[in-house]
Chains A and B, each alone.
Chain A
Amino acid sequence: MTTVQMAPEAPGAPVTVAATGFRLAARRFSHNTLAVIGLAVIVVIVLFCFVGPFLYPTDQTHTQLSQANLGPSAAHWLGTDAVGHDVLGRLMYGGKVSLMVGIAAGILATVVGTLWGSVAGYVGGWVDAVMMRIVDAGIAIPALFILLVISAITTPGVGGLIVILGLVSWLVPSRLIRAETLTLKNRDYVLTLRAIGGSHARAIGKHLLPNSVSTIVVAATFQVADAILLVAYVSYLGLGVQAPATDWGGMLSAGLTAAYSGRWWLIVPPGLAVILVVCAFNAVGDGLRDAFDVRGRG
């Protein structure tokens, strides 16, 4: 049969070059307006928190009671808080902590979850059963409860907070990755590799992980969003980073009493910032999921 010898590209079909699906995914992502906006919001907020302080320097360590509780003005664009810190500056300062802790904890959770889930899924049998029962038990205990208990015992710094948040939120990604591993390990190409004597390390390193990348990346984005929210929770409850350091949750907590006296500038900016960042990360996660999906399984 000559027709199948080398079918020429179907007319009009785009000639794709790269072996990976990333270009296709990137194109698909760029068509998703919401995801692009989300990405832009994240970039802007990161710049705001990390570059902003150089353009809009403020003193966030010394209290200046003479400057306390001022409304927005040309000198203090978003006013000052109860101890005289500039709120706009504080928003940058607190955002640094929120973002750093959130992103680091989200990534830590994804890494731990990926390792746990892929080992459980690949090994299978009783190992899988034991590992997943541990995950079930972990999910059964509310994360907030664990956080409160830990915070009651010790006062974590930034590093400690990252580790604690990371270790309470790896459970959900571990389940996702396990499910992915279960389907991938029975793919024909993995069976073929094993039949000709390929090692487990190769099966995992060359096939399972690269093919789970999309799932892992998407899971990581949602984890970061969750972690940022979680940082805000614990700080709001007064158990986050300690003064004079702060984060968006801490700012909300500090501003709570002011809400009744009409000083909206203490509540609204950090609240909006949290909402904006979490929504942005979720939109990006959605966009990534759709973008990777288009690669199909083919």
Chain B
Amino acid sequence: MTDTILQTTDLGVSFSTESGTVDAVRGVSLSVAPGETLALVGESGSGKSTVALAAMGLLSGNATASGSAVVAGHEVVGATEPALRGLRGKTVSMVFQEPATALDPLTRVGEQIAEVIRNHRSVPAAAARSEAVELLGKVGIPDPSTRARAFPFELSGGQRQRVVIAMAIANNPALLIADEPTTALDVTVQAEILELLRALAVDSGTGVLLVTHNMGVVADFADRVAVMLQGEIVETGPVEDVLLRPQHEYTKRLLAAVPRLDTPESVAARDRAAAPVVQVVEETDGRLGSAPVVDLRDVSVTFGRGARAVHALSGIDIAVHAGETVGLVGESGSGKSTAARVALGLIKPTAGAVHLFGEDLRRTRGRDRRALRSGIGVVLQDPVASLDARMSVGECIAEPLAVHRRGMSTGERRKRVDGVLDAVRLPRALANRAPRELSGGQRQRVSLARALVLDPRLLVADEPTSALDVSVQEAVLEVLTELQGELGFACLFVSHDLAVVQHFAERVVVMRRGVIEEQGTTGTTLLHPTTDYTRRLLAAVPVPDPVLQRQRRAERLATLAAVES
């Protein structure tokens, strides 16, 4: 077995927990050849990360592995800790999801890399240091000899992930395990990191086991794909086969649920396929003439004072009209969540005015202001933190009623809660359950039910689906769209996912560093953007089609090269 560097045979992992033994992984057999990238995909809880950890021998204390996992000729299952230590970082190394926590904040990055080198090879400190600088250059960090002396907090998220990768490849491992290596990063940074990993794998013949939930990343990077469902592999094959001609029912469903970014080409292709229908462009329908539901005018937000002041928003204008959905997109730090919070009245603007339902928020006080707020529904990102663990689902949903409809009887309240539970397609019996008994998708629908219980005129949703699996995301967005059609509320939808916004929103506002880069209808702005920034954002989104993605990648690199020269 010299031609495979990872070979698992009938690998199983079970965890012993308070409520008994749970089989997380069952009968997983897969192999990775040198220079090959195998993507392990699946939704949360499918066991994909557990397989990766088992291959490193990094399972937690309450886990037991069975079967076999051979890395470059060494059996990992049942190996002793010293034997594993010799293997880790040298033969097999790992890139984790969160670059912020993967590095020691108090050690200079160059030293951290040198340490990995000296752990496995007896080289003098000076030689290790200069090798670390070389590695930093190799992973594309500009001015490596200076940057080697930087602390992790002095680097951006993307640069940190590059340092983590430099540490992982320091001893030329035969196998690199990357567990969601780009999930915490913005799309443009993600594209660069994937580019780097691909180049490294090709150059050194390192095999890569890529664990991800993102089908676009798979299409961009993987040679072969293994799809996991509830601890078992349901389908394996070359990336073209699995993504374009999936065999298993689950893979088909998974792919169907992935929101796809429309490009001018794909739209044209679709139009050709369909009968020549007249394209309905609702650029200026009547409702844009009416007063907006929420109107941010020349709003600036500054945190802190003096030299340390951070300008989170500088002079932005956003208006949302009745019945329409406005998508607010941008990378992390662009100020999109801050803008949403200003609209919600949670953050007071430093300058500018916010009009809610036609009233200036600065001129309303106390009771009036509260009454005004009853017209808002809110759904926030984190399905766990959104619901108070000490309340039942019914109490959570009824909370806005308790705030604004004090006179309501218990019976009426109960009826209203049942009504909104029906609306978000959750069974009424759920009202008596505790939030922690619910899945992430169910929780987000409970949040949505709570947001709708007062018949709001405006719904503000801050990344409502980004913590969810794609199939669950699809279900939640479906409910949301349907309810908006019925109830006609306006929606301010904050998301980092351009594909989701393209499908869900009518207008889009692209933000960058606290200012609005451009805004317009999604059909125009996201298909024919006028600014370079939007163009770069769009080009960096990987699509779950390996053939198309290869083309897009080439185009993107050509554009970047053209810009640089």
Interface residues of A (CB under 8 A from B): 1, 3-7, 12-14, 16, 18-21, 187-189, 191-199, 202, 206-207, 210-211, 294-298
Given contacts A6-B427, A13-B19, A197-B373, contact A189 B344 (CB under 8 A): no
Q: Is there an interface contact between B390 and A16, defined as CB atoms closer than 8 Å?
A: no
Say whether chain A's binding surface is mostly helix, strand, loop, or mixed: loop
Instruction: Answer yes or no: B243 CB below 8 A from chain A CBs.
Output: no
Task: State the Cβ distance, B549 to closest chain A Cβ, in Å.
Answer: 25
Q: Specify which chain A residues have a CB less than 8 angstroms from the CB of B451 in the assembled complex.
A: 192
Task: State the Cβ distance, A294 to closest chain B Cβ, in Å.
Answer: 8
Q: Is there an interface contact between A196 and B377, defined as CB atoms closer than 8 Å?
A: yes
Task: State the Cβ distance, B353 to closest chain A Cβ, in Å.
Answer: 18
Q: Specify which chain B residues have a CB less than 8 angstroms from the CB of A192 in the assembled complex.
A: 378, 380, 386, 447, 450-451
Task: State the Cβ distance, B255 to closest chain A Cβ, in Å.
Answer: 13
List 26 contacting pairs A-B, 8 Å CB cutoff, sorted by A: A1-B253, A1-B257, A4-B439, A4-B441, A4-B442, A6-B442, A16-B437, A19-B433, A21-B389, A187-B385, A187-B388, A188-B380, A189-B387, A191-B344, A191-B346, A195-B345, A195-B460, A196-B400, A196-B404, A196-B454, A199-B370, A202-B403, A206-B399, A210-B390, A297-B384, A297-B385
Interface residues of B (CB under 8 A from A): 18-20, 253, 257, 344-346, 369-374, 376-378, 380-382, 384-392, 395-396, 399-400, 402-404, 425-427, 430, 432-437, 439, 441-442, 447, 450-451, 454, 460, 471-472, 474-475, 478
Q: Is there an interface contact between A12 and B344, defined as CB atoms closer than 8 Å?
A: no
Q: Specify which chain A residues have a CB less than 8 angstroms from the CB of B475 in the assembled complex.
A: 1, 4-5
Q: Specify which chain A residues have a CB less than 8 angstroms from the CB of B378 in the assembled complex.
A: 191-192, 195-196
Known contacts A4-B439, A6-B426, A211-B388, then 13 further A-B pairs from the complex at CB < 8 Å, ordered by chain A residue? A1-B475, A1-B478, A12-B19, A13-B19, A21-B436, A187-B385, A191-B346, A192-B380, A195-B345, A196-B374, A197-B369, A197-B370, A297-B389
A261 vs B403: C-alpha distance in the bound complex, in angstroms?
A: 71
Minimum CB distance partner of B460 in chain A: A195
Q: Specify which chain A residues have a CB less than 8 angstroms from the CB of B439 in the assembled complex.
A: 4, 7
Minimum CB distance partner of A27 in chain B: B18
Q: Which of A4, A7, A16, A298 has the most CB of B within 10 A?
A: A4
Task: State the Cβ distance, A27 to closest chain B Cβ, in Å.
Answer: 9
A180 vs B507: C-alpha distance in the bound complex, in angstroms?
A: 40
A51 vs B436: C-alpha distance in the bound complex, in angstroms?
A: 44
Q: Is there an interface contact between A4 and B472, defined as CB atoms closer than 8 Å?
A: yes
A14 vs B22: C-alpha distance in the bound complex, in angstroms?
A: 13
Q: Is there an interface contact between B391 and A19, defined as CB atoms closer than 8 Å?
A: yes
Q: Which of B371, B378, B432 has the most CB of A within 10 A?
A: B378
Q: Specify which chain B residues have a CB less than 8 angstroms from the CB of A202 in the assembled complex.
A: 402-403
A210 vs B399: C-alpha distance in the bound complex, in angstroms?
A: 15
Q: Is there an interface contact between A189 and B396, defined as CB atoms closer than 8 Å?
A: yes
Q: Is there an interface contact between B389 and A298, defined as CB atoms closer than 8 Å?
A: yes
Minimum CB distance partner of B403 in chain A: A198
A3 vs B426: C-alpha distance in the bound complex, in angstroms?
A: 12
A198 vs B454: C-alpha distance in the bound complex, in angstroms?
A: 13
Task: State the Cβ distance, B312 to closest chain A Cβ, in Å.
Answer: 16
Task: State the Cβ distance, B547 to closest chain A Cβ, in Å.
Answer: 27
A18 vs B460: C-alpha distance in the bound complex, in angstroms?
A: 32
Q: Which residue in B19, B20, B374 is a CB contact (below 8 Å) of A197? A: B374
Minimum CB distance partner of A16 in chain B: B437
Q: Specify which chain A residues have a CB less than 8 angstroms from the CB of B371 in the assembled complex.
A: 197
Task: State the Cβ distance, B403 to closest chain A Cβ, in Å.
Answer: 5
Minimum CB distance partner of A191 in chain B: B346
A206 vs B395: C-alpha distance in the bound complex, in angstroms?
A: 11
Q: Specify which chain B residues have a CB less than 8 angstroms from the CB of A210 in the assembled complex.
A: 388, 390
Minimum CB distance partner of B427 in chain A: A6
